[in-house]
């Protein structure tokens, strides 16, 4: 190769060496550094656009009936949708008076523990003394851990001793 060709090639080689050097200087985080990040700052695969049926049945309520369900980790905006209807005799014939009323609650784990312990507390959602409800409730984000919730159906006082309930619920996350 002659000297003029070498001189023209020199700037190209210098630029190539500079690009390679810049890439080599970028430091990747060591695994130890990533582990030090708070759990809320870690990014993981999200279960977005997933629906899960959590309840689709007819059942009897004498006192209280619970249905637990879980929201997976990293669900940013979980949403519970559904409906229930309560009856005194036949599910095909809706009771339009107060004897078919039930109470409906959505509780997180701590609230459910208080509820079972007999302590009156708050609920994420409640519908008192109703026999026909459509429900649409946003639940808190699950962050880095799955979260457990409970659908609770409770016989309202002053009505029939046993009630039939038809319930259909799904959760979107």
pLDDT tens, position by position, for the chain (173 residues)? 666 655 666 666 666 666 666 555 555 554 455 456 565 555 445 555 789 999 999 999 999 999 999 999 888 889 999 999 999 875 555 555 689 999 999 999 999 999 999 887 899 999 999 999 999 999 999 988 999 999 999 998 777 789 999 999 999 98
Model-level pTM? Answer: 0.70
**Extents of the domains making up the chain:** 3-40, 44-172
Residue 104, by phi and psi: left (phi above 0), alpha (psi -120 to 50) or beta? Answer: beta
**Domain with residues 44-172, CATH architecture:** Sandwich (2.60)
């Amino acid at each position: 190769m002659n000297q003029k060709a070498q001189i023209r090639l020199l700037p190209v080689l210098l630029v190539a060496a500079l690009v390679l050097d810049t890439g080599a200087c970028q430091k990747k985080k060591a695994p130890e550094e990533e582990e030090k990040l708070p759990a809320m700052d870690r990014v993981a695969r999200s279960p977005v656009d997933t629906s899960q049926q959590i309840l689709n049945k007819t059942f009897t309520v004498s006192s209280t009936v619970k249905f637990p369900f879980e929201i997976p980790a990293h669900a940013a905006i979980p949403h519970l949708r559904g409906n229930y209807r309560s009856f005194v005799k036949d599910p095909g014939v809706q009771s339009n008076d107060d004897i078919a009323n039930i109470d409906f609650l959505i509780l997180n784990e701590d609230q459910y523990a208080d509820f079972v312990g007999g302590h009156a507390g708050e609920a994420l959602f409640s519908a008192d003394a109703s026999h026909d409800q459509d429900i649409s409730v946003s639940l808190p984000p699950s962050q880095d851990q799955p979260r457990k919730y409970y659908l609770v159906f409770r016989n309202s006082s002053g009505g029939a001793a046993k009630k039939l309930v038809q319930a259909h619920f799904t959760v979107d996350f």
